[in-house]
Structure 1
């Protein structure tokens, strides 16, 4: 089986570096363009199942891939972005000013740091890693031998990359996670194995690297 992990297209908040998390932000015009180009790039490929995070920006991206194929989109809340609690809706500069201690712990990659409360209850990075990778592996286990496209978020893709390469959660993220990128994995002995990362040739000239 193959697992194609896709990050949703661009949103206005991506473009201005405003943290989204569980807040439900739609694609902007560039994101819609990226989703169309993504669908064209994937058109020749065999896909048995299309699964998406239940947040709108991922659903829109997944639907762009599904519509030309006359396929449904299965929603999986486990593929949601990390919940950032009180950080959500703020620019990075605003987070640092309003929550200096929590911002410092986040930037230092304290994977068990508790985030401030907001509209939603924040997750530690460790809890998020477990939730997102469990969701990916559960989908693979439920559909053995199937080729699955999963549309999720930058943080989810980061977790999959770390699992596949065996990277400690505490290490800095020194790899790019692009909007509407194609990232290919396979399943080996119950774990993800990376085949290719960050395919964005279909999106030139403009792609963004963001976590939210």
Structure 2
């Protein structure tokens, strides 16, 4: 029986935005990169140019697209826009800082901070369970389309949180004990049946990178 060839995905969180610097929840709101983020995107693109990729995918939100366009240009690849790679929908929390969300929605914030997997934000937001199912679905679809190949995926911090848990076996509810810096490189593999974490949070190409996400 022939062995299944694994797909290797390089996951990149978008570069920094002004809202990252303010610790403001972005979710599905479309916030562009700031100057630091644009420099991070170019640095990531230069680092990735030494690699060979079969395809490049990006969330449709502009902070991810801007980051991905720089990399796709360096790699001479067409960019495939994939809306399912979007950040988690934070409902009524979107546009608020973490402190503002805690003050305005104390009960809901406690459930969010405690990583209650079934808690869905009011205002059309997603639960962790629904969000994780979406991310597992889209990453599995991308990997299954590229057996034996290396693929670039530019996305968001919440997506990377789910990807790390998917590949490491860590539960959705467990406190985060790994970093998710802007524009760092994260490598995972899928053999058609199981995921494997290869390397995480490579920042060697960056002068500085922000991880403003809550560690809850």
TM-score (norm 1): 0.95
Tell me, yes or no, if structure 1 residue 105 matches structure 2 residue 111.
yes
1:151 pairs, out of 137, 149, 154, with 154
Stretch moving more, 99-108 or 142-151: 142-151
1:51 aligns to what? 57
Alignment map for 1:24-103 (pairs within 5 Å): 24-103=30-109
Return the offset for 1:142.
1.9
Return the offset for 1:211.
3.7
Tell me, yes or no, if structure 1 residue 163 matches structure 2 residue 166.
yes
Structure 2 portions without partners, runs of 5+? 1-6
2:180 pairs, out of 177, 182, 199, with 177
TM-score (norm 2): 0.93
* 1:145-201 alpha-carbon deviations (Å, 9 max, x no partner): 221000000111111100111111111111110000100111134232011000001
- Residues 154 and 210 of structure 1 are in contact (CA less than 8 Å); yes or no, is this contact kept in structure 2? no
- Residues 8 and 152 of structure 1 are in contact (CA less than 8 Å); yes or no, is this contact kept in structure 2? yes
Distance in 1 (CA, whole Å) between partners of 2:192 and 2:74 is 34
What's the C-alpha RMSD, in Å, of the aligned pairs?
1.2
- Residues 11 and 185 of structure 2 are in contact (CA less than 8 Å); yes or no, is this contact kept in structure 1? yes
1:195 aligns to what? 198
Q: Which secondary structure state, in structure 2, belongs to the residue aligned with residue 61 of structure 1?
A: helix
Stretch moving more, 181-190 or 96-105: 181-190
1:124 pairs, out of 107, 127, 134, with 127
Aligned residue pairs, count: 208
